[in-house]
Amino acid sequence: MARFRAEDADNYGGQGGGGFFGIANDKEVKQVRFMYDKVDDIEGMSVHKVPIGDKDRYVNCLREYNQPLDDCPLCREHKATGKYPVMARLFIPVYNIDENVVQIWDRGKTMFQKMTSLCSRYATKDNLVNSIFEVERNGKPKDTNTTYEIYQVDKDDTEIGDLGDLPKVLGTVVLDKTADDMEYYLEQGEFPPTGDEDEAPVRRRDSGDSRRAERRTPATNRRNSF
């Protein structure tokens, strides 16, 4: 599985789409915590998107950007046919305050710049998870030019462990396949059955725990945006 840091993001492919945390409507706002401490926690993943049944799924890419294409059968197939291009994805673990649940925000590599900027500003002395942010959508549904503004609205001493386990990505959101599995897929149009290709779990915090009950901070408290 090719993982990469922010400085290597430009060596990987396009952005794709999708996600589990989402904001549906223009100007809609949700409050979140990003479940990172420091910038070094932020990792991207290179994946392929392939059709499985009636939907598309992410599959792990087996090569680093500077390795031979033949190291990953899906990369080799993309070179030959144009199918299954490699994508650079950032699967951001977020604590959705509005819904009291840990989720994954599936974003493209351009989100690296925004996340590293947030860490530079808010995670030098503190940890990024200490901050509560409002995420505001700017774009109507299905608008491919949609952008997001992110505002810090509060800060405390919350730690990642207070929010629940970090969601697993590889093996759930991203199918973890071997070269042999990929060769089988290219021949058969499906992967060998395993029975463990579930969607990423979400983890809800005990609603009875009011120790860190959080509510939307008025918009007038917005101070910094990216």
What pLDDT does residue 13 have? 37
Share of the chain above pLDDT 70, in %: 77
DSSP run (H or E) holding 20: none
Picking from 43-47, 104-108, 179-183, 190-194, which range would have the lowest pLDDT averaged per residue?
190-194
What pLDDT does residue 110 have? 87
Closest among 44, 190, 195 to 112, alpha carbons compared: 44
Give the C-alpha separation, 8 to 217, whole Å: 36
What pLDDT does residue 212 have? 46
Cβ-proximal residues to 52 (8 Å cutoff; 6+ apart), any chain:
190, 191
Tell whether the model's pLDDT for residue 219 goes beyond 50: no
Chain mean position to CA 212: 25
Confidence of residue 195 (pLDDT cuts 50, 70, 90): low
pTM of the model: 0.77
What pLDDT does residue 125 have? 92
What pLDDT, in 10s, does the model give residues 15-66?
333 338 999 999 999 999 999 999 999 999 999 999 999 999 999 999 998 9
Kindly report the average pLDDT of the chain as a whole number. Answer: 84
Closest among 176, 177, 179 to 70, alpha carbons compared: 179
What pLDDT does residue 109 have? 84
Out of 30-34, 97-101, 167-171, the most confident range is: 30-34
Confidence of residue 193 (pLDDT cuts 50, 70, 90): confident
What pLDDT does residue 175 have? 96
Give the C-alpha separation, 174 to 8, whole Å: 20
Residue in the structure block whose two tokens are 């998870």: 129
Share of the chain above pLDDT 90, in %: 73
What pLDDT does residue 94 have? 96
Tell whether the model's pLDDT for residue 207 goes beyond 80: no
Across the range 196-205, mean pLDDT stands at 50
Across the range 161-180, mean pLDDT stands at 94
